[in-house]
Every structure is written in C-alpha cells, then in structure tokens.
C-alpha cells in the first residue's frame, strides 16, 4: 500500500534569506509567499524493506538532506524505513523552489502513511526543519511565516484575491550555490546583512497589510523592494552571489516597462535566474507576450494560486 501526496512550489514576495542561530532551521526574518497551482511535486511513500530508499523520476538518489531529515524525524516519531518516489512537472533546482514542494509533499505523505495524525502546525514545523520555504507550501494562497512559532499561517486563500504568476524560464541548468550555503555566506560576509534582517520585518508588516487590503500597487512596490534588496545582499557577499543571467535582467526591465505602460505587474526572483512576474488575471496575456519576446527566455510557464499540500488518490 502506498500513500501519495501532492504539493506546489511557492514564491516569496517578502523574502527569506538568512537563518537565526541555533536549532530548528529558524529563519532570521518573517516571509510572505504565494503558493502556485500548475507546478506540482507528487510523492509516493511505501514501507521499505530495511533502509530508506529515494527515487527521483524513478532514478535512485542518495540525497543527504532528505536522509538526514528523516533520521531527525525518527528521534521523535515512529517511522519505519521508507521507499520514497517523487517527481516534479517542472525543472528541479533552477530557482523554482522544488525543495519547498518536495518536503511539503513528503511530510504529508509520511504523516498519512504512518498514521501519525500530526496537526497542521507540527507538519509545517517539520517541513521548515528541512527547508524554510517548505513550511509555506503546506498551505495555499497567500501564506506567512513569522515569530514566535515559525509555522505556516494562512493569510488569504487561493480564491480570495486571484493572481497569476508568469514564469520566464531563462535556463534549466542547476543553480550554482544552494540556498542554505548562500545564506551562510551572506550572513558571514555581507556588510548589508544586519540591515537586511532589520528592514525585512517592516516590509513584512507592510506587505501583510497590503495583501489584506488587496492593494496591488503597495504589494508590487514592497515585493520588488524585498527582491532587489535580497539580490543586493547576495551580490554584496564575499564571494558575491550572482544568481541572474543576462536574460534575467532583461526580463526585469520588460516588467518595469509594462508597468510604465499601465499594466499591473511586478517581478520577483529567487536564488536562480528565472523571473516570476505576478499580475491580476486580466494582465496575464500582455505579461506573457512581453516576457516571451525577451531574448534568452526559453519558456513561459503560467500559474495561478494553488492549494496547500494534501494527500491524494494515486
């Protein structure tokens, strides 16, 4: 008998980049995200023979991050050896947050398969221990994570304020510096890090208010501020972390040009070169057309707002 769960990636509008000292993978700052719909991770869990076995797209993988996290879970929960089969319908590790949907789907599948009956807060706490952004994929729509509990908090459901995200894929290659490592470099070396941590708290509070008021312009302004500030922090690290390519920058200009022409849209970019343009549904065609015509853009993927992680029939 296998148990199947699905989860979607999320993108942060107010970014998380840096961890608090100590246990539990606690972020240094609150963050606010949207969960996407058409990109999906599907994970099947069965009870394995003697030790954990992981398969990605039916290929065996020895992913230390997953195996160590499973070992840590077993310190507090009764979990047998597992066979885990997982796959995404989108490029892995290219800045499309596959670890977020991956761990969110996995904890849901494990909870159901092992009959753990953990509550939503505990599930999102366990997902966060694997990957900070994974906690946010536990829920749909607009999601926050903040002190004191650092678990996913619903802000607006996926239907409450419809939004499209147009993703301009500028490469499908794996990114160079993984997030955890990049965050450690920024915290240790960037002179901007203290200012980033300090100022992100205010951005989060203001963005939460903008979402609750459905104020697109205010949210657009704060999301681009948080994104560019995070990349300023990354670039100001030593060695500088440059996640963009030439097409990334061209897309940012294209989004700014659209906005000057009166189209409601803003951009965000994570630890990879893809550009995500967020807009109301009525602007999606103009945004997709503009980004598709940027030299270097290989593919356009359009998503809406999606639900949180859940168990499904295989």
Binding site for ligand DP6 (CB under 6 A): 12, 15-17, 25, 31, 97, 99, 131-133, 179-180, 270-271
Taking the complex as a whole, the smallest distance from the CB of residue 233 to ligand DP6 amounts, in Å, to: 11
Q: Say if residues 143 and 154 touch (Cβ distance below 8 Å).
A: yes
Compare residues 104 and 297 and give the one whose CB is closer to ligand DP6: 104
Least CB distance from residue 81 to ligand DP6, whole Å?
24
Q: CB-wise, 96 or 109, nearer to ligand DP6? A: 96
**Residue 76 CB neighbour total at 10 angstroms:** 9
Tokens of 214: 């459905």
Q: Say if residues 54 and 66 touch (Cβ distance below 8 Å).
A: yes
Give the nearest distance from C-beta 289 to ligand DP6 in angstroms.
27
Minimum distance of ligand DP6 from residue 15's CB (angstroms): 4
| Structure token digits, residue 178 | 């993984």
Q: Which residue matches tokens 């992680």?
A: 309
For ligand DP6, which is the closer residue by CB, 3 or 200?
A: 200
Q: Looking at beta carbons only, is 16 or 216 nearer to ligand DP6?
A: 16
Among residues 220 and 290, whose Cβ is nearest to ligand DP6?
Answer: 220
To which H or E segment does residue 127 belong?
Answer: helix 120-130
**Closest distance of CB 207 from ligand DP6, Å:** 12
CA–CA gap between residue 197 and residue 125 (Å, rounded): 21
Question: The tokens 């951005």 sit on which residue?
Answer: 203
| CA distances (Å), origin 68, targets 57, 75, 120, 130, 184 | 21, 11, 22, 9, 19
């Amino acid at each position: 008998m296998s148990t199947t769960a699905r989860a979607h990636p999320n993108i942060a509008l107010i970014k998380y980049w840096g961890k608090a000292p100590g246990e539990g993978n606690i972020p240094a700052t609150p963050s606010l995200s949207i969960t996407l719909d058409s990109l999906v991770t599907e994970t099947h869990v069965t009870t394995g023979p003697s030790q954990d076995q992981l398969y990605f797209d039916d290929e065996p993988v020895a992913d230390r991050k997953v195996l160590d996290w499973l070992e840590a879970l077993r310190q507090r929960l009764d979990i047998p050896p597992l066979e885990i089969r997982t796959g995404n319908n989108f490029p892995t590790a290219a800045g499309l947050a596959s670890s977020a949907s991956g761990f969110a789907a996995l904890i849901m599948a494990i909870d159901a398969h092992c009959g753990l009956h953990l509550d939503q807060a505990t599930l999102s706490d366990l997902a966060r221990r694997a990957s900070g952004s994974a906690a946010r994929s536990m829920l749909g729509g607009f999601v926050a994570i903040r002190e004191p509990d650092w678990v996913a908090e619903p802000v607006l459901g996926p239907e409450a304020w419809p939004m499209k995200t147009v993703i301009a894929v500028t490469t499908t290659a794996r990114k160079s510096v993984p997030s955890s490592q990049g965050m450690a470099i920024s915290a240790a070396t960037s002179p901007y890090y203290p200012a980033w941590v300090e100022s992100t708290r205010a951005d989060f509070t203001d963005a939460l208010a903008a979402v609750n008021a459905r104020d697109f312009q205010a949210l657009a302004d704060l999301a681009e501020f948080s994104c560019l500030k995070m990349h300023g922090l990354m670039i100001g690290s030593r060695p500088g972390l440059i996640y963009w390519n030439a097409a990334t920058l061209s897309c940012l200009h294209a989004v700014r040009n659209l906005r000057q022409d009166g189209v409601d849209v803003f951009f965000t970019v994570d630890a990879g070169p893809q550009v995500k343009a967020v807009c109301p549904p009525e602007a999606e065609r103009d945004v997709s057309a503009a980004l598709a015509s940027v030299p270097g853009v290989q593919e356009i993927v359009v998503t809406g707002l999606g639900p949180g992680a859940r168990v499904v029939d295989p």
